């Protein structure tokens, strides 16, 4: 370790040691005011953030894809800080953060908290979408209420120093992870940026300036040597990382043959708590039904978006579609899916190793179709030995599995395959016609309950769960260090619900006005995050502006842009 690395790490840790003493003395009111300041700074520097992100991802400033950077950048931090501030206000006033939220029993002795929509603006801006956080089995509503608040229930009992190893794909991940360490875990925190995101250092330092000045947060750059020095520093109490399972195992068990032996023996070399969000191979189950031509086209664009948002560099990008071999409309849907992949805007491969991973997929599957820079693979087997089910390509590669059976048999079989054969448990999507959901009834509800994933989206993309500040985000609970899959623990979770099991997101099958014509009560047009949305950048920039200062006067321009998409 060089002198420079040592000096950087020691300076950060020394500042945080002093800062922890101050953090323990900081009242809930002052902590809430800090969130308000971070919110204000995020609003002030949002444009700089997005322009810097565009440079990293090689997107022109007039690209329609820039909407992704608005909504997964400053918008996510704005809404996350605001929602956390509401939770702290509740605790200040002697209430539970979940008070006022609809709570109902969920299957299997669970409790569901409806976290979206929350208020009139949510109901108007994403009409027809909803999200619930489910507890683990056996946790009743009173227990959820009593335990919500996590580290802020005992603010003077701080948790030491935490390290966040930032992600390099979605640029709100790292700052939101910092907030979670600071508030949920009640730790002061040093963020080590992924080298891809080093250009964001100046804007993040401006956003977190009030926390940096008081020693609550440090943001530093550097390579693996800096990260290693941080996580192994004796004064660091906990680690959180976003990345791959390979990186996780290198941190926890070491590298090379010695690391493999340590992992096999279950002897970690990092003897402190580590939480993580690690991605995986996410499925989309397409339930057969009678769909119109417009339905086929819209849902094909939906599935293409689930894969191609951020060019597939998402931990929850859908990698494999699970469809019915006996669906009479199967070939028409696959034709529409190929067309949607072709229509989606082309974009640079900014994430390191993308081209190599695409080439590897094409070598593994000679039958793969090249659709522009995208790769489409049919004929996958529902077997864990299938490489595409255990390799997260993190690139524009989409595969298809076909399973036999009528809708009832197909859905039950699809759930088993997703649970037992796919690598990872971060997110799973289900696309189903409302008539199919109604006909399946309790069997459909059972399928949602049986899926072992941290976020499940019905007629929506699990990425919406990421964007919902009060939803939990992370793997399905139960993984261990030696078989970490999609990680351990959750983030976001702005209601500070203790040990949630999953988030369930639901959306309309059709966009407005077709939804209304077919009896779905939803006013939402084509979602602005669709990669085929023509006005996505404008709509999501305006939505971010709204999140800076929610107000009725801003709604008409958002609606007008959304309707043109």
Distances in whole angstroms, Cα of residue 507 to Cα of each of 52, 65, 91, 192, 512: 32, 22, 31, 36, 12
**What is the spatial distance between Cα 510 and Cα 355, in angstroms, rounded to a whole number?**
35
Q: Are 300 and 224 in a shared domain?
A: no
Which pair of tokens denotes residue 188? Answer: 């002061």
**What is the spatial distance between Cα 495 and Cα 511, in angstroms, rounded to a whole number?**
30
Say whether 322 sits in a helix, a strand or coil.
Answer: strand
- Structural domain contains residue 87: yes
**What is the spatial distance between Cα 350 and Cα 58, in angstroms, rounded to a whole number?**
7
CATH of the domain at 23: 3.40.605.10
Q: Are 330 and 434 in a shared domain?
A: yes
Please name every residue paired with 191 in a beta bridge, in sequence order, or none if there are none. Answer: 164, 219
Please name every residue paired with 402 in a beta bridge, in sequence order, or none if there are none. Answer: 323
Which pair of tokens denotes residue 353? Answer: 């190793």
Say whether 330 sits in a helix, a strand or coil.
Answer: helix
The label of the residue with tokens 């529902």 reads 382
The label of the residue with tokens 């793997």 reads 475
Q: Are 16 and 164 in a shared domain?
A: yes
Q: Are 183 and 313 in a shared domain?
A: no
- Structural domain contains residue 293: yes
pLDDT at 206: 98
Distances in whole angstroms, Cα of residue 43 to Cα of each of 55, 264, 292, 313: 20, 47, 42, 26
**What is the spatial distance between Cα 207 and Cα 38, in angstroms, rounded to a whole number?**
6
Look at the chain and report how many structural domains it folds into.
2
Q: Domain end: 451, 473, 502, which one?
A: 451
362 sits in the region (left: phi over 0; alpha: psi -120 to 50; else beta) called alpha
Q: Are 193 and 304 in a shared domain?
A: no
User: What string of pLDDT tens digits covers the 565 residues of the chain?
Assistant: 688 888 999 999 999 999 999 999 999 999 999 999 999 999 999 999 999 999 999 999 999 899 999 999 999 999 999 999 999 999 999 999 999 999 999 999 999 999 999 999 999 999 999 999 999 999 999 999 999 999 999 999 999 999 999 999 999 999 999 999 999 999 999 999 999 999 999 999 999 999 999 999 999 999 999 999 999 999 999 999 999 999 999 999 999 999 999 999 999 999 999 999 999 999 999 999 999 999 999 999 999 999 999 999 999 999 999 999 999 999 999 999 999 999 999 999 999 999 999 999 999 999 999 999 999 999 999 998 999 999 999 999 999 999 999 999 999 999 999 999 999 999 999 999 999 999 999 999 999 999 999 999 999 999 999 999 999 999 999 999 999 999 999 999 999 999 999 999 999 999 999 998 888 889 999 999 999 999 999 999 999 999 999 999 999 999 999 999 8
Q: Are 318 and 419 in a shared domain?
A: yes
**What is the spatial distance between Cα 51 and Cα 74, in angstroms, rounded to a whole number?**
11
CATH of the domain at 391: 3.40.309.10
- Structural domain contains residue 22: yes
pLDDT at 1: 64
The string of DSSP codes covering 296-356 is HHHHHHHHHHHHHGGGG--TT-EEEEEEETT-TTHHHHHHHHHHHHHHSPP----STTHHH
Please name every residue paired with 503 in a beta bridge, in sequence order, or none if there are none. Answer: 133, 455
Q: Are 383 and 235 in a shared domain?
A: no
**What is the spatial distance between Cα 457 and Cα 448, in angstroms, rounded to a whole number?**
9
- Structural domain contains residue 378: yes
Q: Are 359 and 440 in a shared domain?
A: yes
Q: Are 343 and 419 in a shared domain?
A: yes
Say whether 157 sits in a helix, a strand or coil.
Answer: coil
- Structural domain contains residue 114: no
Q: Domain end: 243, 270, 303, which one?
A: 243
Please name every residue paired with 505 in a beta bridge, in sequence order, or none if there are none. Answer: 131, 457
Nearest C-alpha neighbor of 218 from the set 35, 18, 408, 352: 18
Q: Are 169 and 216 in a shared domain?
A: yes
Q: Domain end: 451, 473, 506, which one?
A: 451
Contact call for residues 429 and 509 (beta carbons, < 8 A): no
**What is the spatial distance between Cα 299 and Cα 340, in angstroms, rounded to a whole number?**
10
Say whether 192 sits in a helix, a strand or coil.
Answer: strand
Range of the domain at 332: 282-451
- Structural domain contains residue 330: yes
- Structural domain contains residue 333: yes
Contact call for residues 295 and 510 (beta carbons, < 8 A): yes
Buried b (16+ CB within 10 A) or exposed e, 194-210: bebbeebeebbeebbeb
Q: Are 322 and 420 in a shared domain?
A: yes
Q: Are 227 and 323 in a shared domain?
A: no
- Structural domain contains residue 542: no
pLDDT at 5: 86
Which pair of tokens denotes residue 337? Answer: 């899916």
Distances in whole angstroms, Cα of residue 192 to Cα of each of 1, 72, 162, 211, 557: 16, 19, 11, 16, 38
């Amino acid at each position: 370790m060089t002198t420079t690395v040592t000096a950087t790490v020691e300076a950060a840790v020394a500042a945080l040691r002093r800062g922890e003493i101050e953090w323990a003395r900081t009242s809930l009111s002052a902590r809430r005011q800090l969130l308000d300041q971070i919110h204000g700074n995020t609003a002030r520097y949002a444009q700089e953030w997005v322009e810097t992100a565009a440079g990293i991802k090689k997107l022109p400033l007039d690209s329609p894809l820039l909407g992704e950077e608005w909504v997964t950048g400053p918008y996510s931090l704005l809404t996350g800080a605001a929602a956390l501030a509401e939770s702290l206000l509740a605790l200040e006033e002697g209430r539970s953060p979940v008070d006022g939220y609809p709570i109902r029993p969920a299957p299997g002795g669970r409790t569901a908290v409806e976290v979206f929509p929350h208020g009139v603006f949510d109901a108007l801006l994403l009409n027809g979408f909803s999200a619930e956080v489910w507890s683990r089995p056996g946790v009743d509503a009173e227990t959820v209420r009593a335990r919500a608040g996590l580290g802020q229930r005992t603010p003077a009992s701080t948790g030491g120093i935490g390290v966040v190893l930032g992600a390099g794909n979605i640029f709100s991940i790292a700052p939101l992870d910092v907030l979670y360490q600071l508030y949920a875990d009640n730790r002061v925190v040093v963020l080590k940026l992924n080298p891809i995101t080093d250009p964001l250092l100046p804007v993040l330092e401006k956003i977190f300036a009030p926390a940096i000045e008081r020693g609550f947060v440090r943001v530093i750059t550097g390579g693996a040597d800096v990260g290693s020095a941080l996580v192994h520093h004796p004064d660091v109490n906990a680690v959180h990382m976003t990345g791959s399972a390979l990186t996780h195992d290198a941190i926890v068990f070491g590298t090379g043959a010695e690391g493999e032996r340590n992992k096999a023996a279950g002897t970690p070399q990092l003897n402190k708590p580590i939480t993580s969000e690690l991605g995986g191979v996410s499925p989309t189950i397409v339930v057969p039904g009678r769909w119109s031509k417009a339905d086929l086209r819209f849902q094909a664009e939906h599935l293409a978006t689930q894969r191609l948002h951020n060019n597939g560099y998402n931990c929850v990008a859908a990698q494999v579609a699970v469809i019915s071999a006996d669906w009479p409309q199967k070939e028409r849907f696959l034709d529409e899916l190929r067309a949607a992949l072709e229509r989606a805007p082309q974009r640079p491969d900014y994430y390191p190793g993308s081209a190599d991973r695409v080439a590897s997929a094409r070598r593994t599957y000679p039958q793969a179709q090249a659709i522009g820079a995208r790769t489409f693979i049919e004929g996958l087997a529902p077997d864990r030995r299938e490489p595409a089910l255990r390799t997260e390509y993190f690139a524009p590669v989409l595969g298809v599995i076909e399973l036999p059976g009528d809708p009832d048999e197909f859905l039950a079989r699809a759930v088993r395959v997703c649970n037992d054969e796919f690598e990872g448990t971060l997110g799973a999507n289900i696309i189903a016609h409302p008539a199919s959901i109604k006909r399946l009834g309790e069997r459909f509800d059972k399928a949602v309950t049986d899926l072992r994933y941290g976020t499940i989206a019905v007629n929506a993309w699990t990425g919406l769960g990421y964007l919902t500040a009060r939803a939990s985000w992370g793997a399905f609970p139960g993984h261990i260090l030696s078989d970490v899959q999609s990680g351990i623990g959750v983030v976001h979770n702005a209601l500070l619900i203790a040990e949630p099991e999953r988030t369930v997101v639901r959306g309309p099958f059709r966009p407005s006005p077709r939804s209304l014509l077919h009896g779905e009560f939803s006013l939402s047009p084509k979602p602005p995050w669709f990669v085929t949305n023509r006005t996505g950048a404008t709509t999501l920039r305006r939505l971010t502006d709204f999140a800076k200062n929610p107000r009725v006067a801003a709604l008409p321009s958002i609606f007008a842009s959304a309707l043109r998409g």
